[in-house]
Structure 1
Amino acid sequence: MAVIMVGLPARGKSFISAKVARYLKWLGYETNVFNVGAYRRKRLGSYHQHDFFRSDNPEGVKIRLELCRHALDDLLSFLSSGGHVGILDATNHTRPRRRFIVDYLKGYKEGHVKLMFVEVICDMASIIDRNIQLKAHNSADYTEVDPKFAEEDFRERLKHYEKSYETITEKQLSFFKLFNVGERTVTNRIQGILPTRIVYYLMNLHIVPRPLYFRLYALN
């Protein structure tokens, strides 16, 4: 099975990917996350100015598509060697990119890879701002960049993605949409035990800090 993440930057996709992978491993499923950003950094280095991510930058678009293909190849290799679930962690924010992924994975064992898309949608300014600050200070993209400049650059990158973003409307796809950290959810064509477990987990997943209270009892 392949889980394909969808969403703008700074929405928590990587965090959710790691959480889902940990949960599935706990259930006994061999799971691995394939982060396209990590492939970019490995091949091209860490920092890329925001113009690299413009949808009207043909060279950038070509390179990012090629990196996605490499990640998919590794995902399929992982499944071929006994893995159960591969998670593709990237924005995958346009219909052409999702169509490419579907067509590419159809070629594996005559389409015997079950696909599920998970779209993370958030318009809560407080969460987005916090995630942007975390990116500026902790992201591997900005390890040698001044945090203030990094935050400005990342906000410009985000604007490029927002201009070309297309939410999932492809009814033929199996997908789950998570709005504002669980405020609302949408499911479409979710079938089978494993996809249903993933949906249930995501519906109960907390990705923001929250208080926990413990009651202590004295034993006599």
Structure 2
Amino acid sequence: ATGPLPTARAPGTGPRTPFSSASFFDASKAFATSHRDRISLEAFESLLRWLKEDGSEIAIFDACNVTKQRRAKLGELVCALNDEAAGRESPVSIVFIESICYDEQMVLQLMEGKVQNSPDFVSLPKAAAMADLHERIRHYEKVYQTVAHDEGPYIKILDLSSKASVSNVYGRMASSVLPFLLALHTMDRPVLLYMLPSGDEAGSSPQYREALVRWARSYARSSELTILTSTEPSALAAAQGLADASGGPQPQQRAMLGPLLV
């Protein structure tokens, strides 16, 4: 689909989407659970028809398949589709993708983006929307079951691509889809460029190194820095001081960078 990106809404404006309150995601409520299951399965069956009829190759079913029972049902539908098309079409394979985030600050930022852009919270002020989303997450946590090895192929992305755990993923999934997933990110990842003054004497002077050290110590995400530097002595000296101050990994040298620190 193409079109303009969604813009952040003004808090507390417009009607709220039906069945969007946190109570609708309470697994102890039979009506809400059956309603959500029905909607999910209808959407998944539509996805399978799209794969079968349109000659498409890859589809992503973005849903909270947090229980083993729900995932097993999806697997049954895929098997039924393959049995129906046996000998006539290539079989459809299913791979579960699980995103696990332990970084509380990262979770908070993702939640803020959710309440700003999702129609689920369009009529709520930010504080009320965040409280509602917290409650929804607690409902998910009560029934959440991580994907297990016996459920088939899976990819687990930890802390938004900082680490991945992969099981029984081969071929195109491993060579194309997995790198694509690892390249996705929803958090800001700034690229900072620093051009050293011309001449080794100026670039290696304590004045510039100390300025970089002060900046690194005050930068909130200094431990996340990946430092790329040219092979010039002045750049190497400045990069090493920056790495020592930030507590991050050692600088990586790149001859094509000229006198840049990145």
- Can you list the C-alpha shifts for 1:67-119, whole angstroms capped at 9, x where unaligned? 11111111012112222111100110110010011011211131721111111
Residue 60 (structure 1) aligns with: 32
Residue 113 (structure 2) aligns with: 134
Residue 168 (structure 1) aligns with: 147
Point out which structure has higher relative CO (alpha carbons under 8 A, 6+ apart): 1
- Can you list the C-alpha shifts for 1:12-46, whole angstroms capped at 9, x where unaligned? xxxxxxxxx99xxxxxxxxxxxxxxxxxxxxx944
Residue 134 (structure 2) aligns with: 155
- 1:207–1:135: structure 2 CA closer, same or farther, 3 Å change rule? closer
Residue 72 (structure 1) aligns with: 44
Residue 238 (structure 2) aligns with: none
- 1:136–1:47: structure 2 CA closer, same or farther, 3 Å change rule? farther
Amino acid at match of 1:91: C
1:125 and 2:98 equivalent? no
- 1:133–1:207: structure 2 CA closer, same or farther, 3 Å change rule? closer
Q: CA deviation at 1:195?
A: 4.3
Cα RMSD of the aligned pairs, angstroms, is 2.4
Task: Find the partner of 2:83 among 110, 129, 134.
Answer: 110
CA distance in 2, matches of 1:69, 1:130: 30
Q: CA deviation at 1:138?
A: 1.6
Q: CA deviation at 1:199?
A: 1.1
Q: CA deviation at 1:213?
A: 4.1
- 1:154–1:164: structure 2 CA closer, same or farther, 3 Å change rule? same
| Identity fraction in percent | 24
CA distance in 2, matches of 1:60, 1:94: 16
CA distance in 1, matches of 2:134, 2:194: 43
Residue 236 (structure 2) aligns with: none
Counterpart contact for 2:25–2:136, Cα < 8 Å = yes
Amino acid at match of 1:148: A
- Can you list the C-alpha shifts for 1:116-154, whole angstroms capped at 9, x where unaligned? 111100011111111111222221111222222111111
CA distance in 2, matches of 1:51, 1:178: 28
Structure 2: gaps spanning 5 or more residues: 3-15, 85-90, 196-256, 258-262
- 1:109–1:149: structure 2 CA closer, same or farther, 3 Å change rule? same
Counterpart contact for 1:116–1:195, Cα < 8 Å = no
Q: Provide the TM-score with structure 2 as the length reference.
A: 0.61
CA distance in 1, matches of 2:144, 2:151: 19
Task: Find the partner of 1:94 among 67, 70, 78.
Answer: 67
Counterpart contact for 1:46–1:143, Cα < 8 Å = no
Query: What is the count of residue pairs matched by the alignment?
Result: 176
- 1:84–1:102: structure 2 CA closer, same or farther, 3 Å change rule? same
Residue 50 (structure 1) aligns with: 22
Task: Find the partner of 2:162 among 173, 179, 183.
Answer: 183
Residues 94-103 or 45-54, more deviating: 45-54
